[in-house]
Structure 1
């Protein structure tokens, strides 16, 4: 597709002026030809992304935006792809960056508080979905035509699933002046606590018109951040000072939580409590407690909304980058208990002369009894619990010939499973 103004993208959007560009992508204003609605389209160059190994980052950004739906987060409408480009169609936010406002000087207290309230409510919502932004700063906060704030740019965001076993994130990222001390120290950090620190720096900048931590020497600036060494301007109200000292506490363990920020008297002044309704409207998406239906087999992994999205055909993001016909993963869902699914898979394995090796964590391993074209066929069936009577099952090839594996799964296992399959990847739900 060309990048010229007035050209039509994917036969659906008339391309307008360029709104911004980076190393791998350009963002254009566009108009939906059918509805006339204005949108922003991020056009990602596949070749450049593949060359520098940024596939996971792009996938993450799309997944996060699809998962997070909040009035103060830029909304993702759809994702399309051609051979050379990926088109991420988003809400067009017309008011520009909050950074542009801050660059003109400090913002009045009531307005700064409104932006901070909107920021905190959106960040709280993201955290409730297991999403941590990790790069909160005025450049990533947009304003719409009503002067309401919208968080954008989830390229650096982390999901709860990317934590290590210690429950902490370990990637050094974000913009130096807004980064929490524990992120700089590279010892692992709680994504929620790191975001709270960044929100505090944003509030300071809104009210002061300048950064709390500044130094031409990056190492010196990091030292200041590590000690939370900053000074308030004289005109700062005492209640704001007290709140900021709790937010920019260098010890993440004693740093204030979002729940406590929301109880703060300065924060609550004029706060729109409707913003909290968004947080609870789909708490069913949160990961629940693990059900252990079969002590021999071990518990199945519970799914949250991100898992469901990344497993669904409409947002199976690997298809943006690879040939679907050769995919090694096959997925289906079943409205059955884990025990029923396991029993069914065992029966089928006997008929197909596959050896079954049970493993903990909701995984069954299948191995062929004879050599194939590329060795012995071996694949896993991993069972994910959505509810105790609704599961998603992912079949993943580990060894042997891909075509042989796909033949066994699609032509032999699938028909044998037909009485428990609710949806098979690639089909519409019935």
Structure 2
């Protein structure tokens, strides 16, 4: 799934356990799935949900300094064709980047020797270019785009990975770091000239499109020197089976002079990519949800997470343990009905608080006293104004949410407690009252926190 940046295959190793408790308590390592010049990538299982995730381990050593900013870049990206970040765990020795596991493998392995069919190549390239355009809009240049750094998810959609060589840029800014993969180097990198970031990514997109349609890279030779000479002179041949319009697009992209290359947005408007209604441009930079998903918030509450702290973690984008659990559940939910909690979760070291009773199936609800708020009309914390203390630095403010009132209830746990199975119906009202007091007590605590913060 993950390969080294010099195009050699990933070195698969025997699984090693995470040797730091803060990580080991949350994730169980399953196997090593990749090894590169700067770190290892492991397949792990999130203990609370049972979801499989990819964990990139970066050592805090001198030669890794150029790539230690990768998690900071990934925090700013949220796009369906960019690998999703779940959590960042930083210790004295390592940085652990927890991401979704795109189990479909690398794009490189999906392209046959003669290239993809035109329709499939167009579909995939459209999504890849859309993701790169989104990154550029966010002020991020990837700088190591190649088929090995594009993985396929379970639905056959591509996702960009490995932002270790990425950088932030502003319009007109010149960069002077020269790294990446030789066969995808733009001419200005070969010549060691200061360069603007986006045109370098555009050149790499041209190499990727050529590879997708032909199964080969446009620049290749018996030696690295010969390959670099071909790049500087833009010497390549397009096979006759490549569609004419696609060939024209490749010629436009692989222009020696950066200023003659189209932007990614211009590429997306090209006639070949727009062919067919299903390939018409769409707004890929979807606005993130303004409010947390109430169903997921209810599940987290049932697990024992504090709603207020969960809400603040999401608002401030902390990518903490709480936010990771929310994002993993959200990712599972996006896969379709029945995809949440697939498989049996590994027993967590930090165990969630079990739910005693499912109120949604209770025949009788206890009467509440006048001082107790009705659950059906009490808003989640995500519906209230974020207090000053929870705002991000430099943020002017966040509007009060306007979600409708939400019914709070505990979802049925996967495995009932032993004493619950033998519980008689006559004991349910007493259990309901205890659960009611616990729920209202937690809500009251949240209100007190909001009052103090305001």
1:110–1:314 CA distance, 2 compared to 1 (3 A):
same
Q: How far has the Cα of 1:272 moved from its partner?
A: 5.2
Give the corresponding residue for 1:100: 109
Give the corresponding residue for 2:253: 247
Match of 2:259, SS state, is coil
Give the corresponding residue for 2:425: none
Is it true that 1:175 corresponds to 2:181 in the alignment? yes
Is it true that 1:73 corresponds to 2:88 in the alignment? no
* In 1, Cα distance between equivalents of 2:148 and 2:112: 11
* In 2, Cα distance between equivalents of 1:429 and 1:124: 40
Q: TM-score, normalised by structure 1?
A: 0.61
Conserved? CA contact 1:16–1:31, under 8 Å: yes
* In 1, Cα distance between equivalents of 2:264 and 2:89: 36
Q: Which moved more, 1:84-93 or 1:214-223?
A: 214-223
1:40–1:270 CA distance, 2 compared to 1 (3 A):
farther
Is it true that 1:224 corresponds to 2:230 in the alignment? yes
Match of 1:219, SS state, is helix
Q: Which structure has more RCO (C-alpha within 8 Å, separation ≥ 6)?
A: 2
Q: How far has the Cα of 1:131 moved from its partner?
A: 0.4
Match of 1:194, SS state, is helix
Give the corresponding residue for 1:357: none
Conserved? CA contact 2:86–2:319, under 8 Å: no
* In 2, Cα distance between equivalents of 1:233 and 1:267: 19
* In 1, Cα distance between equivalents of 2:229 and 2:262: 22
1:101–1:313 CA distance, 2 compared to 1 (3 A):
closer
* In 2, Cα distance between equivalents of 1:98 and 1:172: 24
Conserved? CA contact 1:114–1:271, under 8 Å: no
Q: How far has the Cα of 1:219 moved from its partner?
A: 2.4
Give the corresponding residue for 1:4: 16
CA RMSD of aligned residues (A): 3.2
Give the corresponding residue for 1:17: 31
Is it true that 1:32 corresponds to 2:41 in the alignment? no
Give the corresponding residue for 2:65: 55
* In 2, Cα distance between equivalents of 1:92 and 1:313: 20
Conserved? CA contact 1:13–1:33, under 8 Å: yes
Unaligned runs of 5+ in 1: 283-308, 317-333, 336-383, 391-427
Give the corresponding residue for 1:87: 96
Is it true that 1:215 corresponds to 2:236 in the alignment? no
- Greater share of residues in strand: 1
Q: How far has the Cα of 1:84 moved from its partner?
A: 3.1
Aligned residues: 291
Is it true that 1:112 corresponds to 2:121 in the alignment? yes
Conserved? CA contact 2:141–2:201, under 8 Å: yes
Is it true that 1:256 corresponds to 2:262 in the alignment? yes
* In 2, Cα distance between equivalents of 1:109 and 1:278: 22
Conserved? CA contact 1:248–1:255, under 8 Å: yes
1:3-34 per-position Cα deviation (integer Å, ceiling 9, x unaligned): 63699833111211211122442211111111
Give the corresponding residue for 1:131: 140
1:158-209 per-position Cα deviation (integer Å, ceiling 9, x unaligned): 1116x8xx62111112111111112222221121111111001100011111
* In 2, Cα distance between equivalents of 1:42 and 1:429: 36
Give the corresponding residue for 2:328: none
Q: How far has the Cα of 1:103 moved from its partner?
A: 5.9
* In 2, Cα distance between equivalents of 1:240 and 1:115: 14
Moved over 6 A (4+): none
Match of 1:205, SS state, is helix
Unaligned runs of 5+ in 2: 1-13, 289-312, 321-386, 399-451
* In 1, Cα distance between equivalents of 2:47 and 2:319: 23
Conserved? CA contact 1:117–1:271, under 8 Å: no
1:330-351 per-position Cα deviation (integer Å, ceiling 9, x unaligned): xxxx99xxxxxxxxxxxxxxxx
Is it true that 1:195 corresponds to 2:201 in the alignment? yes
Conserved? CA contact 1:201–1:212, under 8 Å: yes
Conserved? CA contact 1:39–1:90, under 8 Å: yes
